[in-house]
Structure 1
């Protein structure tokens, strides 16, 4: 019957864990208070964003702006093979270390490598072939390899500053879309031959100062600074604001480059890539677009040749 306390299960047995509960003991009130605002992901220990922020803090601050970062370096590069190493040494490529396999069969190329290491005081390391395989990514190294240190790019502003410090009218060559390292090396070589104060290359979608560029420059890369720009169009506008006249090269230019009346003024010459030439945004950043007159049967000149022809006309006008 209802209310019968003697019914089985109607009365809690003594000694059970759960006793009578009058209230929650404050648990509900504390649960309603909350734990405060959720911390940012960067402030949570162990969160991927926190690890990324800590790593960025260890690397230090980066220089901002559209003209590229001062001293930003390319990755190190390895040259493998006897002929390639000998050619790189003849071009005076900067060397971080030379590697020669243990018990290597010596020939004229190996002897030249050893002689260059001795004369130039280059670090020479004798290493097992298995280590050379790992270093070169299993390339055909023939027992010889070298590593280049990362190239230290200048800042685009430094090229103008060095020219004005020398009391000279700045002459800078900017390339847009040049993806062949040999063409870039040829541009650097022409820039050095005709007295330019430096070369500007884009940070993306462009050749950099690799071994191929060094070899084609024939040592000029050691004397002519190369700057890297994160945004070429923005850099050209900054040059314009600094008093430089920006002249681009294009087959459909307004006038022949030799007829431009500004060649003896502070100048930035812009050379386009091998196929598409200058981009639309870079073309719009030029004060003048000039052409090199060539035979109709020839569609265009590569970047290295075009830069050499235009720089010759500039040097002739400045004399």
Structure 2
């Protein structure tokens, strides 16, 4: 787990993290029914000032998150090694999801892409709309790294966040891929268009073009939606064009990570 995404827990630990490295904190989770005190109030204020989302969840959810981290760390330890922290975890109703590295804002990511455009290249960006499963997110980051994508854009809300499941599935890609976090996907789409990107949405709509027939000889931002709902209606409306993967078997769709791999590598090949 060293160097990867993780959860930091406990009021004092989370408060110290917000004070020292707020740019690495993706989200704060608070337990339902948590009694407010000075430390909790301070965490709220620091998160607000740093524009870090705070989500209230059942206490059992926090227990589950930290158990998964414990399991991942135990599996990574050498055989026979016993951790110094064998006592039960006391998270005090406060957990922070910590990114593996400093996250970018969108202007910084677009600036990186501009240098590629000036060299006559076509930068590629990926945006995720509602991908909340950590294993899917980790697999997508691994695909993005393998395909040489310039960056991945994720929303502050309705995103998988960072944790041991992402770290394990990404296999190190989360440390390498540029990741930008935005508050509003539709505003981010417009910023990308203003920077010269064409926006492609993955959707199995009647008007969508088969992915292998689309021209990608331009800067492209590809948007992938959630498996359950796909792209949000306004996000889809703001796309310049839609692409689909024709299905010839009995299933009507692919896992979002698999579909992302198909589309990204087609974009790179072109």
TM-score higher than 0.5 here?
yes
**Which residue matches 1:201?**
154
**Which residue matches 1:273?**
226
**Which residue matches 1:259?**
213
Aligned residue pair count: 214
Whole-angstrom CA distance in 1 between matches of 2:53 and 2:233: 28
Choose the corresponding residue for 1:126, options 62, 81, 84: 84
- Show the 5 A alignment for 1:61-100: 62=49, 78=66, 83-87=71-75, 89=76
1:165 Cα deviation (Å)?
2.6
1:157 Cα deviation (Å)?
2.1
1:73 Cα deviation (Å)?
8.7
Q: Which has the larger share of helix?
A: 2
- Show the 5 A alignment for 1:27-176: 59=46, 62=49, 78=66, 83-87=71-75, 89=76, 109-111=79-81, 126-127=84-85, 129=86, 132-135=87-90, 150-151=98-99, 152-166=102-116, 167=119, 168-176=121-129
Q: Quick check: 1:198–1:224 contact (8 Å CA) kept in 2?
A: yes
Please list every run of at least 4 consecutive aligned residues from structure 1 whose deviation after the TM superposition is greater than 3 angstroms: 58-63, 72-83, 108-111, 134-137
Whole-angstrom CA distance in 1 between matches of 2:166 and 2:241: 28
Q: What's the RMSD between the two structures over aligned residues?
A: 3.3
Whole-angstrom CA distance in 2 between matches of 1:162 and 1:84: 34
- SS of the residue corresponding to residue 200 of structure 1 reads strand
Which structure is larger by alpha-carbon Rg, 1 or 2? Answer: 1
Give the stretch that moved more between structures: 168-177 or 157-166.
157-166
Higher relative contact order (CA closer than 8 Å, sequence separation 6+): 2
For structure 2, list consecutive stretches of 5 or more residues without a partner in the other structure. Answer: 1-37, 56-61
Relative to the length of structure 1, the TM-score reads 0.59
For structure 1, list consecutive stretches of 5 or more residues without a partner in the other structure. Answer: 1-50, 64-68, 91-107, 115-124, 138-146
Q: 1:240 to 1:133 in 2, by over 3 A?
A: same
- Show the 5 A alignment for 1:178-189: 178-189=131-142
